[in-house]
Amino acid sequence: MEMQWWIWLIFGIALILLELVLPTFFILWFGIGAVLVSLIALAAPSLQLDMQVLLWVLLSSGTTALWFKLFRRKQPDVRWTADSVIGEVGLLTAGVSEFHKGRVRFQKPVLGNEEWTCVADSEINAGERVRLTAIEGNIARVIRA
Instruction: List the CATH number of the domain containing 108.
Output: 2.40.50.140
Residue 118's φ and ψ, nearest 5 degrees, are: -135, 160
Residue 55 has pLDDT above 90, yes or no: yes
65 and 10, same domain (yes or no)? yes
| Domain ranges, residue 66 | 5-71
88 and 52, same domain (yes or no)? no
Q: Model confidence over 27-47: pLDDT tens digits?
A: 999 999 999 999 999 999 989
CA nearest to 96, candidates 142, 136, 131, 145: 142
45 and 67, same domain (yes or no)? yes
Q: Which residues contact 102 (CB under 8 A, 6 or more apart)?
A: 92, 93, 94, 95, 96, 117, 118, 119, 120, 124, 126
Residue 76 has pLDDT above 80, yes or no: no
pTM, two decimal places? 0.53
Percent of the chain at pLDDT > 90 equals 69
For 45, 79, 82, 115, the CA distances from 112, given in Å and listed in that order, are 58, 10, 11, 9
